[in-house]
């Protein structure tokens, strides 16, 4: 299965992609995570990407496309993958189609998590992430233990530098201008699935599963 998640930053893409990754035993590939790792290792790519990320801007297409091209060719991605945060522009989507075509593969479905702007601002500005294990908390909806440390590993919890309100608002504008057009792009390919992302993590998970089952069943019956 080859899946893409799209939606505002903070719409729950990473959380739902992680659930499906475990269930289907296929990797969740997040360009944001790959870039943050490069930033923390201070590689030349990381130092370049940081300039854009701190401002809430998109890193240039050719940089992220190069990362994805390498990542999709790794062994663990051969039986499927879940993309979280890529593609984010029409140019990235076209390049992804071209790459997959070359490998004789294609996207199974694109899941768009629909969440209102107000809720996104609430979610992101109150998001805290463990520096050690990456566990994500929300001070209101999913608070960390009272001692303010990670409940999984005891690590320090921090606010991502791009989760400050001003940057969040800018990231949302960038989404509207550059990423939202992907809904039309994948809608025209008949691959778009809209999911109400404002519900609880479990309800969103179940709704996604229900839609994916429908797709898998119709694939089975059409191949019989």
Residue 31 beta carbon to ligand AMP: minimum distance, rounded to whole angstroms: 3
β-pairing, 109-114 vs 2-6, is: parallel
Q: Catalytic pick from 28, 88, 128, 205?
A: 88
Nearer to ligand AMP, 35 or 212 (CB): 35
Residue 45 beta carbon to ligand AMP: minimum distance, rounded to whole angstroms: 12
138: β partners: 127, 142
Q: Catalytic pick from 149, 160, 169, 211?
A: 160
Closest listed residue to residue 116, CA positions, set 173, 198, 205: 198
Q: Is 197 in the site for ligand AMP (CB under 6 A)?
A: no
Active site residue 55: no
Nearer to ligand AMP, 18 or 215 (CB): 18
- Interface residue with ligand AMP, options 45, 46, 52, 105 (CB under 6 A): 52
Region label for 107, one of left (φ > 0), alpha (ψ between -120 and 50) or beta (otherwise)? beta
Tokens for 64, please give them: 């992220």
Active site residue 211: no
Nearer to ligand AMP, 124 or 195 (CB): 124
DSSP tag of 156: B
Question: Contact at 8 Å (CB) between 28 and 17?
Answer: yes
Residue 58 beta carbon to ligand AMP: minimum distance, rounded to whole angstroms: 4
Active site residue 135: no
| Token pair 């229900």 in the structure block, residue | 210
Binders of ligand AMP among residues 123 to 182 (CB under 6 A) are: 162, 171
Exposed/middle/buried for residue 188 (C-beta within 10 Å: 0-12, 13-18, 19+): exposed
Active site residue 160: yes
Residue 210 beta carbon to ligand AMP: minimum distance, rounded to whole angstroms: 26
| Token pair 């990473």 in the structure block, residue | 14
Q: Is 7 in the site for ligand AMP (CB under 6 A)?
A: no
The DSSP line for 191-220 is -EEEEETTS-HHHHHHHHHHHHHHHHHHHH
Closest listed residue to residue 10, CA positions, set 200, 197, 211: 197
Residue 67 beta carbon to ligand AMP: minimum distance, rounded to whole angstroms: 9
Active site residue 42: no
Sign of CA dihedral 170, 176, 177, 178: positive
Q: CB under 6 A: which stretch of 16-24, 58-66, 119-127, 211-219 binds ligand AMP?
A: 58-66
Task: Please list the active-site residues.
Answer: 13, 88, 127, 160, 171
Would you tell me which residues interact with ligand AMP (CB under 6 A)? 9, 31-32, 35, 52-53, 56-59, 64, 85-86, 88, 92, 162, 171
């Amino acid at each position: 299965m080859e899946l893409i998640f799209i939606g505002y930053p903070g719409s729950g893409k990473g959380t739902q992609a992680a659930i499906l990754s475990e269930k289907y035993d296929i990797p969740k590939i997040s360009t944001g995570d790959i870039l943050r790792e490069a930033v923390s290792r201070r590689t030349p790519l990381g130092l370049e990407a940081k300039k854009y990320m701190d401002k809430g801007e998109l890193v240039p297409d050719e940089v992220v496309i190069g990362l994805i091209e390498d990542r999709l060719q790794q062994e663990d991605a051969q039986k499927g993958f879940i993309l979280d945060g890529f593609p984010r522009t029409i140019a990235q989507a076209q390049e992804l189609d071209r790459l997959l075509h070359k490998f004789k593969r294609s996207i199974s479905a694109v899941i768009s998590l629909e969440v209102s702007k107000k809720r996104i601002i609430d979610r992101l500005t109150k998001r805290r992430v463990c520096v050690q294990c990456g566990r994500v908390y929300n001070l209101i909806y999913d608070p960390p233990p009272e001692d303010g440390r990670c409940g999984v590993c005891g690590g320090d919890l921090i606010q991502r530098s791009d989760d400050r309100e001003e940057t969040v608002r800018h990231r949302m504008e960038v989404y509207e201008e550059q990423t939202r057009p992907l809904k039309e792009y994948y809608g025209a390919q008949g691959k778009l699935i809209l999911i109400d992302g404002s519900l609880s993590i479990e309800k969103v998970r179940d709704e996604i599963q229900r839609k994916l089952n429908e797709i898998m069943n119709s694939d089975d019956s059409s191949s019989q």
